[in-house]
Amino acid sequence: MDTNGCTIDIELMANAKTQLDGLLATTQNIEYKCIVQLVNGYLRKYCKHNIVSDVIDISETHSKTIYYCESCGLTFDGLSTPK
């Protein structure tokens, strides 16, 4: 894999993830879910994650900090970021 800033594969895969996420989880069959998992796994492994945090409101009185990657769109729990 070219590591000199060649991230077109990540861009395309992130686009695919966005498209795939457009289908409601309840209407995804097992093969569809497998493909989603494969795409997520690819991004998790090959993306040079650029983690940013964002605060979202979960109710009128509570908010929550989420962490996600600007490059691939994967979300991460807490501060643990994959290597």
Residues in binding contact with Zn ion, number by CB under 5 A: 5
Alpha helices in 21-61 (DSSP H): 30-46
**Residue 71 touching Zn ion (CB under 5 A):** yes
- Determine which residue in the list 47, 55, 67, 82 makes contact with Zn ion, applying CB under 5 A: 47
Give which of 54, 50, 25, 53 is closest to 37, Cα–Cα: 25
Give which of 41, 38, 19 is closest to 30, Cα–Cα: 38
Shortest distance, position 32 Cβ to Zn ion, whole Å? 22
**Residue 14 touching Zn ion (CB under 5 A):** no
Residue numbers at the binding site for Zn ion (CB under 5 A): 47, 49, 69, 71-72
